[in-house]
Amino acid sequence: MTASPSSCGGLEVLLSTLQNAGDVESTINILNVLDELLSAGTNHRIHYMISKGCSEALLTALVNTGRSFSPNFNLLLPLLHLLAKVGHRDRRIGVKAEAAGAPLLTLNLLRQNIKHARRAAACLWVIQVFSSSVSTANLIGENHGLETIYRIIPHFTTKHLHAIKAAIDAFAALLCTRANVCSVVSQGYVSGLLRLYEDWHAKAIQHAAVAICHSLLRCLHKVTRSSAGRQALVSHGGIRLLYGTTQTCLLRRGLESLVEPSVQLMRRCLTKTPLPLTSDRSAYSFPVPGREHAGPATDPQPDENSEESDDTEAEVSEEADFEDDLETDLNKLRFRPEPDRPKELLPQYSRLCPELSHDFQELCLCSEPEESSVTSSSSSSDEDAALLNGLQLPRSGTCCRWSDSSTSSSASDTGSHKPAASQLEARDFHSHGSILSTRTKAREASDEARQGHSEEHQDEEDESHHRSMIDSLLEKHGVCIPHHEPQLYRAAAATTRSIPGFSVLAFPDFWGHLPTPGLEPMAPRKPNVQRQKVFEDVQRFLITEGIINQVVFDLEDSSLQCPSDSLRFFSKFECGNLRKAVQVRRWEYDLILNADANSSQHTQWFYFEVSNMVAEVPYRFNVINCEKSNSQFNYGMQPVLYSVRDALEGRPHWVRTGTEICYFRNHFCPARGRRTTTFYTLTFSITFKHNEDVCYLAYHYPYTYSALKAHLKVLQESVDPDRVFFQQQVLCCTLAGNPCPVVTITACPASRAWKDMHQLRNRPCIVLTGRVHPGESNASWVMKGTLEFLCSSDPVAQSLREAFVFKLIPMLNPDGVVNGTNRCDLSSEDLNRQWSNPDPVLSPTIYHAKGLLYYLSSVGRTPLVFCDYHGHSRKKNVFLYGCSVKETLWQSGSTVNTVGLKEDPGYRTIPKTLDRLAPAFSFNSCNYLVEKSRSATARVVVWREMGVLRSYTMESTHNGCDQGIYKGLQTGTRELQEMGVKFCLSLLSVTKDVKSLYSHMDNDVLDHKSHNCFEDDEPPCVEEIEYSADCAALNAADLDSDVNANTTDADEEEEGDEGHGEAKLRRGSVGQSLQSSTRGRLFPPAM
């Protein structure tokens, strides 16, 4: 700074004089003025001072003053104090200091003044500030700065507390580099830090030294960023020490602030524990055409030599950075790509438009409904026959188990299995461990079935006994469930192909489900529930007494015998997912989910049977290999439970259940893969109502592929063939050989007159798809509501049928649904990322669904609306994603001038209508952005390639709503089906005669008062899900308070007694810093 005072402002004059001043008094006066400016200034003023070279001027003055043989500390102290305050706010202070040669000079000043507390504290604060630069911290570490500072830190004392805290804070600041951390670990300082923390913590009960404990915890957090640091802490008993001190903290009001950083440190340092699996790959493997069969041997070996660091373990987000992910290429947004197949292949899809070729002769003939019904499909007649072939109800208790011999049935060419009638044999009702939930009722039913039969004839008459028993159960305990017939479901399941060849029907799927009578509120979160669960997990590590750790269920080991007093688990049925259950304690179980078939990922969905429980005892369940970094389970969501006893007593409900629910990162890692993979625990407790019940637990309301087949059959037989054209066909077969149904629904023409037939064949198409992701079962319940409404006699439904032709593909991923996967199909691919160029062999349902859409466009019947039904695990409410060129460009900050771009705003019509119609819908949660990462999804491809303006993804929450009349309530199957109905009603907004169609609706449904009650996405969880964050760093207000307290001491070396030392501690920030992060202000008010 060489500008003359005449050409500079007042600040420049002061800074220039500071660098060039020769006398002590002038320099001190300038420092006092700058300190006043800093103290009274706003952030803007402070950064203005820094921009004008305040840091450089102070560094120059420090170097000039400190180089003298006998530095004048009357000048150096205020200079160091001011440099600490300014430097803490200057992001480049470390680089500037290194350029000026200040770090080593300050370190030498510290060494010369270790016995002078105030001087040492001032040097330490400056070293702490300099260490914000990695290179500067390394420079100080290489010159033995760590050793120098470590030796300053004493065991508990009441003297020189500011200097002690400054030393610990400076030590923590130097640990920002890997080299310094390695040095600390190698020199054994971790053990010393633990002993220091133990000593200070013990005395902090009686003295105000809590902030020093905080600073020591900050050092330990920094050290344990490396695997060597974590191992050192564990090997020196750090977890046991932290656990003990934390229990003490919980009993002392003044020490609560030490609990959270201690808990986070314990979580971080718990030894990585491989999942107790032989392979990370799914227990279900399937021979994919064109690929080598992937077995467990392909698992990568763990890289034991890799240097792990928590700061490199952050989960890769499912979504790319929001703004960077938005598509900004105008050509990709505006122009259609060429079709992915020749036009000559499209006519094959004409069969899927039966409304165009059907002659409707039944309008003129008086034949029987069975002969004239247009609801049947020739392409599915063989399947229909199979569904009704009278297969016996499988049994072993109410879980309806077939004999194990059925699992050995010959595999299809694709490697999947289906049970065959000839291979089913009757079994004794009690022969399986998973028995009827009410053993008493089971015995009564069994006795009724066996009346009049002798023991010696039991085997040959077992089958008839079984059939009469099931009939008796249905007659005595069955509940009329709309659109559900248990025997029809059983017949449908008999033709379903699965990888393992399921020989079991889950009772809820067979018996049926009715929505609960009332709405279920979100579960309140118990304060500090996660902390308590973490403590229990730490206890498992520290105290082995009472730990059982016994495998009680293994999907891959059917011969496993579990103890008589443990819960019994089972998941080998359609949609089921539970790979292994480990009894940890008497009432606690770790559950491991099965990865998607042919992969080692995508664990979230679960559905399993549990039995042999004791009533009124809280059981803790830990799902320990979840993958998502957050979950609605942290925000009031509960899993669902189905009780067989309740069902037999007339309450066949899936109900939300569970207490003490939380979702957080754990210490487990893959069995054989890299240890850097992150898993999360979903933990919840359940108190069962009945002894020895049979219950089913699931992530969300299950909806199986067999349920869809049976439901479509019921709908097919229920519609009025004179009014409803309902035709079910097979889109294609899946990899496993399961037919993928496609349904056409519209109104029959009034007559065969040309005008009526012409109107029919020119109705616009609405294409609806769903369940591409198997774990999103809520999408199927929404689709169920849509299907039932479109087939109903409701006047609005008839109006919609007369206005549109509906093409519905209710389940795009049957194989995934059947085999209990969460995200993928049997080729281990996410089918909703295959739409750009689907493989006809590996992704047949997507290939042919896209082919149908191509065909409709080629014959001038481009769908008016396309909507893909999904579920969302991270947000509340129901909302739509659409596509808009302008909104994408606006949001991305693109430089493209959008003034001249013309875009039909009609893509917002349906969302706006839904916001008025549907209580669960949130217009403000919708967006219409085209992301690069979503370029191969159905929504974007149908919009871009087929030109469908109203191309949507409809996301339904797994949890509930935070707005409107459903605010604070979890959605059930009733509300999900209602959403399917409301979506149909919203289509009225795109008809030509909206006014007359709205006249069919009640006025009270037009405004549900939800659209003004929007609350944004979830706030951060009340407890830290992750444990990678360090203790909160010392902020500017804390540092200012420490420095100011150091300047108030009149004597350079004020010893004082213990009481006086405590008074100094309370006067400075040491006694205040616990609250300073929340209520401290950057500067005191200007005078």
Taken in order 96, 102, 107, 110, is the CA torsion positive or negative?
Answer: negative
Strand order in the sheet with 580-585: 550-554, 580-585, 588-592, 618-626, 680-687, 659-665
Paired tokens of 448: 């009724």
CA-wise closest residue to 818 among 872, 743, 738: 738
Among 422, 547, 431, CA closest to 494: 422
DSSP label at 423? G
Distances (CA, A) of 1025 to 317, 1011, 1014: 15, 31, 25
Task: Count Cβ atoms below 10 Å from residue 179 Cβ, excluding itself.
Answer: 12
Q: What is the mean pLDDT of each run of 10 residues along the chain (1087 residues)?
A: 47 78 77 80 78 89 85 87 90 93 95 93 95 95 96 91 93 95 96 96 79 94 94 96 94 88 94 93 93 54 42 37 74 86 95 92 55 40 34 35 34 54 30 36 37 46 60 79 92 96 94 94 95 93 91 94 94 98 97 97 97 97 96 97 95 97 95 79 98 96 98 96 96 97 96 92 97 98 98 95 97 98 97 96 98 96 98 95 94 83 93 94 95 94 96 98 95 98 95 60 51 54 80 71 70 42 42 36 30
DSSP states of 226-281 as a string?
Answer: BHHHHHHHHHTTHHHHHHHHHHHHHH-GGGGGGHHHHHHHHHHHSPPEE-S-S-SS
**Amino acid occupying residue 541:** F
Take residue 943 and report the two structure tokens written for it.
């919009």
Q: Where are the beta strands (DSSP E) in 902-990?
A: 950-957, 969-970
Q: Are 804 and 992 a contacting pair, CB within 8 Å?
A: no
Say what angle helices 909-917 and 973-986 make with each other, to 10 degrees: 130
pLDDT value, residue 361: 79
Q: What's the pLDDT at 1041?
A: 77
For 698, which DSSP code?
E
For the chain, what is the total number of helices (H) and then of strands (E)?
A: 42, 22
What is the per-residue DSSP string for 310-376?
A: GGG-PPPPSS--HHHHB---HHHHHSPPPPSS-GGGGGGGGGG-HHHH---GGGT----HHHH-SS-
Structure tokens at 1000: 């069919």
Give the tokens for residue 153.
């830190």
Of 866, 852, 992, the C-alpha closest to 356 is: 852
Question: In which residue are the tokens 């004020």 written?
Answer: 1054
d(CA 591, CA 621): 7
Tokens 């629910």 found at: 661
Give ∠ CA 636-640-646 in degrees, rounded to 5. Answer: 130
**Which amino acid is residue 290, in one-letter code?**
G
Looking at residue 467, what is its pLDDT? 60
Strands 694-698 and 607-611: antiparallel
Tell me if 567 sits within 8 A of 619, measured CB to CB. Answer: yes
| Residue among 775, 1010, 972, 987 at smallest CA distance from 870 | 775
C-alpha span between 837 and 764 (Å, rounded):
26
pLDDT of residue 240: 96
Residue 53: left if φ>0, alpha if ψ -120 to 50, beta else—which one? left
SS3 225: coil
Burial of 351 (0-12, 13-18, 19+ CB in 10 A): middle
Structure tokens at 770: 């769903």
Distance CA 941, CA 240 (A): 56
Which has the closest alpha carbon to 1037: 1064, 1066, 1075, 1087? 1075
**What value, to the nearest 5°, has the Cα angle with vertex 730 and ends 773 and 713?**
90
Here the tokens at position 608 are 């399993």
Residue 1076 parent element (H or E) = helix 1073-1079
Query: Count of CB atoms within 10 A of residue 22's CB?
Result: 7
Question: Is residue 806 within 8 Å of 746, Cβ to Cβ?
Answer: yes
**Of 955, 975, 1026, 1062, which one is the catalytic site residue?**
955
Q: Which residues pair with 326 in a beta bridge?
A: 931
CA 701 vs. chain centroid, Å, equals 18
In angstroms, the CA 1087 to CA 1084 distance is: 9
CB atoms under 10 Å from CB of 607, counted, come to 28
End-to-end Cα separation, the chain, in angstroms: 31
Q: Give every CB contact of residue 206 below 8 A, 6+ residues apart in sequence.
A: none
Mark residue 851 as left, alpha or beta (left: phi above 0; alpha: psi -120 to 50; beta: remaining): alpha
* pLDDT, position 398: 37
Token couple for 835: 């739409």
The H or E element that residue 765 is part of is strand 765-770
- Beta-strand relationship, 520-521 and 739-747: unpaired
Helix (H, G, I), strand (E, B) or coil at 541: helix
The C-alpha atoms of residue 948 and residue 865 are separated, in whole angstroms, by 7
| Neighbouring residues of 71: CB distance < 8 A, sequence distance ≥ 6 | 65, 109
Could you tell me if 739 and 509 are in contact, meaning their C-beta atoms sit under 8 angstroms apart?
no
Taking the C-alpha atoms of residue 506 and residue 496, their distance in angstroms, rounded to an integer, is 14
903 catalytically annotated:
no
Is 757 within 8 Å of 749 (Cβ atoms)? yes
Q: How far apart are CA 12 and CA 34, in angstroms?
A: 11
CA-based nearest residue to 679, from 631, 609, 745, 618: 631
